[in-house]
Amino acid sequence: MKVSSLEYRNQFLLGRSSFELEEFAQTNGMKAFRGRQLHNWLYQKGVKSLDEITVLPKDWRLSLSQRGITTGRLGILKRHVAKDDTIKLLLETIDGEIIETVGIPTKNRLTVCLSSQVGCPMACRFCATGKGGFRRSLNVHEIISQVLSVREAMGRSPSHIVFMGMGEPLLNIETVLESIRCLNSDIGIGQRRITVSTVGVINTLPKLAELAISVLGRAQFTLAVSLHAPNQGLRESLIPSSIAYPLDSLLEDCRHYLSLTGRRISFEYILLGDINDQVEHAEELAARISGFQSHVNLIPYNPIDEETFRRPTLQKVEIFRSVLAKRGIAVSLRASRGLDQNAACGQLRHQHVTRS
Ligand code: SAH
């Protein structure tokens, strides 16, 4: 099945705005308010099938289903709850692909970690998703489905969204931005509570800034850039795609992005024991990004089966953090959540696919 074809996408209602749903109702011989009802039941009530929208005339619901039109909600294949209440869902697409989404609750927040692709072509060495190869990019309804499924599974509304699940969002820019529009206007999650994470794809950052401004009015979401190394040599050994897109060019594009959007950038840095966690690496990183309006997020490596990287000791993490802080770099440490359920990016799906 050609999953990105317009005809295919036209089958699904999730991802459409209130205006588009009104138009949809009208082109189907209904009054505009039927579109607003669809909107309310799709996004607020979170129905899975058109049949549940009992306010709509039964014969209209029937004729839509006969034409293959559905909400676009994905089925849940598996659900894991970790000891810390982090929830991981494996969702199945209509063409039989499997994607992973994670809900991370704290007292005041529910963060949903979204996938933007099935698999990933970037093949970063420490990442489980890359080990399984790349299948395809996701469509808007498949991204929105992930948020609604986590909301339903946890019985509360997500407050924050991070595009840090499977895939490289900047290889699926239009869809990711369209999803942010929907999350923002249809589901009510503020743009400032949304983060898009990228390892860097050549020639995409200016496009992201321009398209964000045209689709969303303003680019107010946070851009997180997966740096993971303070120099080109080390970065290349961890991230093969960086050979074609050197660190210098990536940082220059980040500066340009900042000037276009006015948003400070968040740099992600995985700490791999004895590889990139030494004081000299912290010093080099600080020198490289000093004066750059940014923030560094340190992520202790989450072990994956296929690699022998190690998590750094807590002491090493603390030293790394304090070297950056002393050099005036804003730095935070990401707490590991859901480790007992293999929360690292793409791990759950990878295990499911390789075992079955
Ligand atoms: N492709 C995007 C988004 C998906 S990965 C990107 O690379 O940014 C989201 C974050 O999880 C990235 O910073 C990625 O480097 C990190 N990550 C991947 N595998 C990991 C692992 N095993 N342990 C810790 N972080 C990991």
Q: Same domain, yes or no, for 21 and 113?
A: no
Please report how the helices 173-185 and 140-154 are oriented relative to each other, as an axis angle in degrees rounded to 10.
40
User: What is the number of the ligand 1 atom nearest to the C-alpha of 268?
Assistant: 13
What is the domain-level CATH number for residue 28? 1.10.150.530
Beta bridge partners of residue 69, listed in sequence order: none
Q: Residue 335: its pLDDT value, please?
A: 75
The pLDDT of residue 7: 61
Same domain assignment for residues 113 and 234: yes
Cα angle vertex 91, ends 85, 97, to 5°?
Answer: 145
The answer to whether residue 173 is domain-embedded is yes
User: What per-residue confidence (pLDDT) applies to 356?
Assistant: 41
Please indicate, yes or no, if residue 1 is contained in any of the structural domains.
no
Residues 156 and 110 in one domain: yes
Chain-centroid distance, C-alpha 136:
15
Among 66, 85, 106, which residue terminates a domain?
66
Q: What confidence tens digit (pLDDT) does each residue in 139-158 have?
A: 999 999 999 999 999 999 99
| pLDDT (0 to 100) of residue 334 | 84
Average pLDDT over the chain, rounded to an integer: 93
**Same domain for 140 and 34:** no
At which of 17, 40, 66 does a domain end?
66
Confidence band, pLDDT 50/70/90 cuts, at residue 341: very low
Q: How confident is the model at residue 352 (pLDDT cuts 50, 70, 90)?
A: low
Structural contact between residues 158 and 114, judged by C-beta atoms closer than 8 angstroms: no
Is the residue at 289 inside a domain?
yes
Share of the chain above pLDDT 90, in %: 89
Phi/psi at 67 (nearest 5 deg)? -85, 5
Q: With 80 as the cut, is the pLDDT of residue 9 above it?
A: no
Cα(274) to ligand 1 centroid in Å equals 19
Banded pLDDT at 343 (limits 50, 70, 90): low
Q: Decide if 149 is inside a domain.
A: yes
Distance CA 38, CA 25 (A): 9
Partner residues linked to 298 by β-bridges: 269, 333
Distance CA 180, CA 220 (A): 10
In a domain, 295, yes or no: yes
Residue pair 140/191 in contact by the 8 Å Cβ criterion: no
β-sheet bridge partners, residue 22: none
Whether 80 and 202 map to the same domain: the answer is yes
Give yes or no: residues 205 and 266 share one domain.
yes
Q: Is 94 found in the same domain as 38?
A: no
Query: 45 and 168: one domain?
Result: no
Residue 55, SS3 per DSSP: coil
Ligand 1 center–CA 325 separation, angstroms: 23
Q: Which residue has the higher pLDDT, 80 or 8?
A: 80
> Do 79 and 59 belong together in one domain?
no
Domain count of the fold of the chain: 2
Q: Does the residue 312 lie in any domain?
A: yes
Strands (E), 193-291: 194-198, 222-226, 265-271
DSSP notation for 287-336: HHHTTSSEEEEEEE----TT----PPPHHHHHHHHHHHHHTT--EEEPPP
- The token pair that represents 110 in the structure block: 């529910």
311 with 259, same domain: the answer is: yes
CA dihedral over 8, 9, 13, 18, signed as positive or negative = negative
Assess if residue 12 is contained within a domain: yes
Structure tokens at 56: 């709509």
Residue 165 CA: nearest ligand 1 atom is: 4
Ligand 1 binding pocket mutation candidate from 299, 337, 347 (most atoms within 8 A of CB)? 299
Ligand 1 atom at minimum distance from 168 CA: 1
Same domain, yes or no, for 111 and 135?
A: yes
Q: Domain range holding 36?
A: 6-66
Q: Would you say the CB of residue 268 lies under 6 angstroms from ligand 1?
A: yes
- CATH number of the domain where residue 305 is located: 3.20.20.70
From 17, 32, 66, the end of a domain falls on 66
Q: Are residues 253 and 114 in the same domain?
A: yes
